[in-house]
Every structure is written in C-alpha cells, then in structure tokens.
C-alpha cells in the first residue's frame, strides 16, 4: 500500500474514531487510545505515517454497555458496522471491531479487565485467558506450535469458550483492581498488563484534529509495551499491517446475522 493509499485509509479511520468518541460522550463511557494509536499521538501528534488501523480500549463495564447499545442496529451511525462476541456468534476475537461498511477499514475496541495483584496469580490468569481466547478464535490462521494447540482448544464449542471468557472477565472487576490488562492486545499479557494508576486518571493528547483520552502516565505505558518508543523502527518495518487482512461486513446489519 502506497503513502497516498495509507492516508486515504487514515481519513476513514479518523471518521471511525470521531464517531466512537461521540458515542462514548453521549453514553458517558470511559475510553482511551492504546497501542499504535497512543504511540502515534505521543510520537507524531496523530497517525504513525504507515499505520492503517486504530486501537482504543475501555473498562469492561463501559465496553459491555457500548456492546449492548450497538447490538441494536438502529443505534449504529449510518455507514458503520459493529462486530463482537456479544452480537455475532462465532466471532473469533475477544474484542470489538467498528468498521466502515463494505470496506476493510476498521478500529479495534478492546475491553480492559482487572487482573490479580500477585505476580504468580497474574501468570495463572494469563494462561487461563489465553486458553479461553484461543478457543474463541480457533478458526483464525496460526503457525508453528500454536496451530496444534489451537486445534485442541478448538474442540471447545464457541458458546462455551465465550461463556468462559465472560466469567474470567468478571473475576477481577476493573474498578476494584490494582492491575488491569488488555487481554486482546497484540503484545502479550506481560506487557499489556499494567498498574491501573498508570492509566488513571485519564489525560489527553492531540491526535490529528482531535483530543483523545490517554493514560495518566503515557510514558510508562508506552515503555512497558514498546521499550524505547521514541526511536523509529527500521525503514523495512514501516509498512501497513492490516489492510486487506480482515473481511468487513457489507452492511450495518450483517454482524447481527
């Protein structure tokens, strides 16, 4: 994908982010930029030039409220579609995707769950979460040793996997936890699990023409995820990662089918 094509995609992503912010304000829901979107805000004041998706997160209670709201197609803004395990049986991800209908332009909306206080308990929590999420997404393509593991965990029926994931998420309520985790994040439990006081109270940073909520200690959050996040990756790694990889619904109601 060329530079102009990436920028065209980012224009669509910005529309999604703006709509998400508007819905959360209307419903009084908490959310914040995470992952590459937070990195872009901190390092570039907007999109990483080669980034082609948006990542946000919400405390589980707020995520569930948004999920129930979007379960009614009449509540979706025109031209947008919502997919999640709560509205689409068989959906293989443990988080939601808001997309422009008829395109593969999407933003990931991750629920944030509480995590145990003790280090050993968090390791156990990580394994249990990974097993449930792998069962949920057993049909996703995998390589190496993950393929046979997914094949075994895929024997668990999707409704049972989704139910297990829901029970695990309730075990440590976000607002009562000292540690919180984005279990659906790309960087693994050890890096995605952070002290809650790194995230709260929320601050704000410019992102293109928006002000987006960000962790209270953005520097600590980003260093845990990326290490020296101010250093640009080598030129060979400055490429879009998602375009064309995620089939999108062709209508706002397809996700409900």
Question: Model confidence over 194-251: pLDDT tens digits?
Answer: 999 999 999 999 999 999 999 999 999 999 999 999 999 999 999 888 754 433 333 3
Check residue 256 and give its pLDDT. 31
Residue with tokens 């990974």: 130
Check residue 257 and give its pLDDT. 27
Q: Please state, in angstroms and rounded to a whole number, the distance separating the CA atoms of residues 132 and 130.
A: 6
User: CA torsion angle for 110, 36, 106, 134 (degrees, to 10)?
Assistant: -50
Structure tokens at 149: 């593991």
What region, left, alpha or beta, does residue 33 occupy, with left being phi > 0 and alpha being psi -120 to 50 degrees? beta
DSSP annotation of 232 reads: P
Check residue 99 and give its pLDDT. 96
Counting the structural domains of the chain, the total is: 1
Q: Provide the residue range defining the domain that includes 164.
A: 3-256
Check residue 243 and give its pLDDT. 58
Parallel/antiparallel/unpaired status of strands 106-115 and 54-59: parallel
Q: How far is CA 221 from CA 36, 97, 107, 214, 224, in A?
A: 12, 23, 20, 10, 5
Check residue 255 and give its pLDDT. 31
Low-confidence ranges of the chain (pLDDT < 50): 244-257
229 neighbors 37 (Cβ within 8 angstroms): no
What is the DSSP code string of 55-85? EEEEEHHHHHHHHHHHTSGGGSPTTEEEE-T
CB contact set of 208 (below 8 Å; sequence gap of 6+)? 14, 45, 46, 47
For 68, list phi and psi in degrees, rounded to 5.
-65, -35
Q: Please state, in angstroms and rounded to a whole number, the distance separating the CA atoms of residues 10 and 72.
A: 27
Structure tokens at 33: 């930029």
Check residue 2 and give its pLDDT. 53
For 107, list phi and psi in degrees, rounded to 5.
-125, 145
Q: How far is CA 224 from CA 80, 99, 144, 187, in A?
A: 33, 29, 27, 10
CB contact set of 187 (below 8 Å; sequence gap of 6+)? 35, 225
């Amino acid at each position: 994908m060329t530079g102009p094509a990436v920028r065209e995609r980012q224009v669509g992503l910005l529309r999604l982010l703006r709509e998400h912010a508007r819905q959360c304000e209307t419903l009084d829901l908490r959310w914040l930029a995470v992952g590459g979107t937070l990195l872009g805000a901190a390092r570039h004041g907007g999109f990483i030039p080669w980034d082609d998706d948006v990542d946000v997160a919400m405390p589980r209670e707020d995520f569930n409220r948004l999920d129930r709201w979007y379960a009614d197609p009449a509540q979706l803004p025109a031209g947008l579609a919502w997919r999640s395990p709560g509205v689409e049986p068989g959906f293989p991800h443990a988080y939601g995707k808001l997309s422009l209908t008829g395109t593969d332009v999407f933003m990931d909306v991750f629920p944030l769950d509480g995590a145990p206080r003790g280090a050993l308990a968090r390791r156990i929590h990580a394994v249990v979460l990974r097993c449930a999420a792998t069962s949920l997404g057993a049909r996703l393509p995998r390589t190496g040793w993950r393929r046979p593991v997914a094949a075994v965990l895929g024997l668990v029926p999707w409704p049972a996997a989704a139910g297990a994931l829901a029970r695990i998420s309730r075990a440590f309520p976000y607002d009562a936890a000292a540690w919180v985790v984005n279990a659906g994040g790309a960087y693994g439990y050890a890096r995605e699990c952070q002290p809650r006081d790194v995230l709260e109270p929320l601050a704000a940073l410019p992102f293109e023409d928006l002000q987006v909520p960000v962790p209270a200690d953005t520097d600590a959050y980003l260093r845990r995820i990326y290490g020296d996040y101010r250093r640009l990756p080598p030129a060979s790694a400055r490429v879009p990662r998602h375009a064309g990889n995620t089939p999108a619904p062709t209508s706002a109601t397809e996700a409900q089918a």
